[in-house]
Amino acid sequence: MTAHPALHQRRRPPNAEELANIPWLALLSPIEQDRAIADLQVGDALPSDYVCRVGRPVTYWFGVVSGLLKMSSDNAQGQTMTFTGVPPGGWFGEGTALKRESYRYNIQALRKSVVAGIPVDTFHWLLDHSIGFNRFVMNQLNERLAQFIAAREIDRMHNPDVQVARSLAALFNPVLYPGVGELLRITQQELAYLVGLSRQRVNEALNTLQSQGTIRVEYGGLRVLNLAALRSSVLAQP
What is the pLDDT confidence band of residue 193, given thresholds at 50, 70 and 90? confident
Give the mean pLDDT of 68-97: 85
Pairwise pLDDT comparison (75 vs 176), residue with the higher score: 176
| pTM for the structure as a whole | 0.85
Does the structure show a pLDDT above 70 at 157?
Answer: no
By three-state DSSP, how is residue 185 classified?
coil
Q: Which long-range contacts (CB under 8 A, 24 or more apart) does 30-34 make?
A: 32/126, 32/129, 32/130, 32/132, 32/133
Specify the pLDDT at position 68: 94
Give the integer Cα–Cα distance in Å for 49 and 113: 10
Percent of the chain predicted with pLDDT > 70 = 90
User: What are the tens digits of pLDDT across the range 195-219?
Assistant: 888 999 999 999 999 999 999 999 8
Specify the pLDDT at position 238: 44
CATH architecture of the domain with residue range 158-236: Orthogonal Bundle (1.10)
| Contact assessment for residue 235 and residue 150, using Cβ atoms and an 8 Å cutoff | yes
Homologous superfamily (CATH) for 7-147: Jelly Rolls (2.60.120.10)
> Phi/psi zone of residue 149: left (φ > 0), alpha (ψ -120 to 50 degrees), beta?
alpha
Contacts of 144 (CB under 8 A, 6+ apart): 176
Give the mean pLDDT of 50-79: 88
Rg for the chain, CA atoms, rounded: 18
> Phi/psi zone of residue 180: left (φ > 0), alpha (ψ -120 to 50 degrees), beta?
alpha
CATH 2.60.120.10 location in the chain: 7-147
Specify the pLDDT at position 196: 82
Could you tell me the sign of the dihedral formed by the alpha carbons of 159, 162, 163, 164, in that order?
Answer: positive
Specify the pLDDT at position 113: 96
Give the mean pLDDT of 13-36: 96
Q: How far is CA 99 from CA 33, 48, 147, 155, 156, in A?
A: 23, 27, 21, 28, 30
CATH 1.10.10.10 location in the chain: 158-236
